[in-house]
Amino acid sequence: MKAPSDLPPRSDGPGPNPAPKAQGAEKSREDRLKAALKANMARRKAQARARAGEKGATEQENK
């Protein structure tokens, strides 16, 4: 195994000027993340509404 100083520098990303193909991939990733976030928020709102409805139903039953 090589010593860490013998290894080439690690590249964590495309750099300051990504190739056009990489920009397209980044855009599609961003779109996927945006869609996933939107779906997650919709699911959380539906869960919150259902919980609020259950709470309201229980309070009415107790009267």
Measured between alpha carbons, how far is 28 from 49 in angstroms, rounded to an integer? 32
Q: In residues, how long is the chain?
A: 63
Identity of the residue numbered 30: E
**Start-to-end Cα distance in the chain:** 74
Mean pLDDT of all residues belonging to the chain: 79
Pick the closest to residue 54 from 43, 39, 42, 62 (CA basis): 62
Write down the pLDDT at residue 44: 98
Task: Show me where the domains of the chain are located.
Answer: 26-63
pLDDT category of residue 22 using cuts at 50, 70 and 90: confident
Quote the CA–CA distance of 24 and 31 in Å, as a whole number.
10
